[in-house]
Amino acid sequence: MSTTALQILLAAIVVVPLLGAVAALLPAPPGLKGRSPGQAVLRHGVTVTGAVLALSVALAAGFDHDHPARMQATTDVGWIPALGVRIHLGVDGVSLPLLVLTSLLTFLCALHSYWRTPDGPSPKAFVALLLLLEGGTLASFAVLDLVLFFLAFETVLIPMYFLISRWGGEGRERGAWRFILYTLLGSVVMLLGLLLVGIKGGTFDMVALATDNGSGLSHSTQVIAVLAIGLGLAVKAPVWPLHSWLPDAHTSAPTAGSVLLAGVLLKMGTYGLVRIVLPIAPDGARTFAPYLAALAAVGIVYGSLVCLALARRGAKGDLKRLVAYSSVGHMGFVLLGIATLTPTGVNGALFANVAHGLVTGLLFFLVGGIKDRYGTTDLDRLSGPTGAALYGRAPRLGGLLAFGAVASLGLPGLAGFWGEMLAMFASFRPADGLSRPAYLVFLVLAGLGTLLTAAYLLAVVRRVCMGGNGEQHPAGAVGPALTDVRPYEFAAWTPLVVLTVLAGLWPAALLGLTDPVVQQLLGGGN
């Protein structure tokens, strides 16, 4: 595909959702009114996200897979000369998978919402916010200018805030507030760091700064910049102990909100670390890497311990909260991989990033489906005295949940395995200059985390999918059969299942894309 076509594709991927968001607020044109205004606008959402997905698949097809390290489909035009801000877009092997993941998950969310209208005020605003969120997320993966990255990073906050606070469940106001205040606190500090880099480095262009590889920045500048930028990204990622907004936000968010929050928004934090911190301020990154690794290891163990506590009988654990805390653990692996500063680790981190998006997205969809059927996600109320017996009452749903759980615990052959394996593998031999014994300790902690993860996920499967047989318990304890997976749910979930299996069986497809870029980002070469 020609360069111009790719350029147009990438620009369209960023712009189309934004235009779609505006269009969603306008009255539907004649001929597209549909059965009701709500239905028309939800269909509009499906159309636009579908178009964006098609565009990003086309971009992925046109992408030169032989040279993933080269920035492709680049557009570079001046926007605000006063600040030296340019509209610089481009994709390489690191951002391409995230772009496709984002457009896929948003499309699935729109599809799901079309059939299962979210509870809350008019769907019009819902679709507009969803599209704005998609636009912001895609932009943050596509831009190559520090200030634009910040702009895109901030753009997602307002829509996500309203998605949680208007369409969320119990405790939504609180959850939405915590989400936005934590993220803003971090991102304002991040802005200072980005400005520092931009002013001292003489440009806001990420490619130019990455090529310099920190040579234009003094050690102390790098340390301050990494601290400031890292803080903003750490809140987003989230790094323990800055994670405490995440469970509340996830628990109260609507299904689409949870899926996008876990599947895409958290990735902006880790993507920022790989794209900005590692190549632009390598000295600063080296200074803070052991601390980041330590926090990541603590996060892994902490996340799984909390999940274990939630999965206990009588703990009144919320299934959504449990999946949210499991995200803290999984993102811990991603951060550990990045903190090793080795190509293996960063590749593993990027792989785990995508895998987590697929698997956790699926899990949140499933939990949303369970909530629709039972009206609750409280594990104790769900499972009753013996278990919810999903295998018996809705076998396909139960099977999918079990699939999601084992994918999440990192069963070899599924997506969750490779990323975490590579991250741990890399921390066995971290980059030169990093204390190996410390990383060995983190490795052990991470290993312990995988065991605990397996324990709580199996406990969840045991309590939700299995149940007493009819002989030992009076009839009716298990309850009547439930609606099994509906066609639209099947349509929304199948792509995630298929991709999870594919990524597990053929990891080279993804690693082949990321590896050349990672070598370059860490090495500072071209």
Question: Between 83 and 309, whose beta carbon lies closer to another protein?
Answer: 83
- CB of 220 or CB of 376, closer to another protein: 220
Q: Rank residues 82 and 475 by Cβ distance to another protein and give the closer one.
A: 82
Cβ-based nearer residue to another protein, 161 or 365: 161
Secondary structure of residue 143 in the 3-state scheme: strand
Q: Output the CA angle 497-503-507, nearest 5 degrees.
A: 170
Q: How far is the CB of 184 from another protein (least distance, A)?
A: 5
- 478, two tokens: 């298990």
Query: C-alpha 98: how far from its chain's center?
Result: 9
Q: How far is the CB of 485 from another protein (least distance, A)?
A: 34
244/246 Cα distance (integer angstroms) = 5
**Pick 136 or 467: Cβ nearer another protein:** 136
Contacting positions for another protein (CB under 8 A)? 79-83, 85, 121, 125, 132, 136, 147, 151, 154-155, 157-158, 161-162, 165-166, 180-181, 184-185, 188-189, 191-192, 195-196, 198-199
Q: In the complex with another protein, which residue's Cβ is closer, 193 or 416? A: 193
d(CA 301, CA 452): 8
Q: How far is the CB of 482 from another protein (least distance, A)?
A: 32
Hey, what amino acid is at 391? Y
The number of helices, as runs of H, and strands, as runs of E, in the chain is: 23, 2
Q: Which is nearer to another protein, 68 or 175 (CB)?
A: 175
Tell me, what amino acid is at 500? T
Label residue 36 left, alpha or beta by phi (over 0 means left) and psi (-120 to 50 means alpha): beta
Q: What is the C-alpha to C-alpha distance for residues 73 and 12, in angstroms, rounded to an integer?
A: 11
Cα radius of gyration (the chain)? 22
Residue 76's DSSP bridge partners are 88
Closest distance of CB 502 from another protein, Å:
35
Minimum Å gap between C-beta 200 and another protein is 9
Minimum distance from residue 161 beta carbon to another protein (Å) = 7
The residue whose two tokens read 């753009």 is 155
Q: Which pair of structure tokens corresponds to residue 75?
A: 């557009």
What's the min distance (Å) between Cβ of 89 and another protein? 17
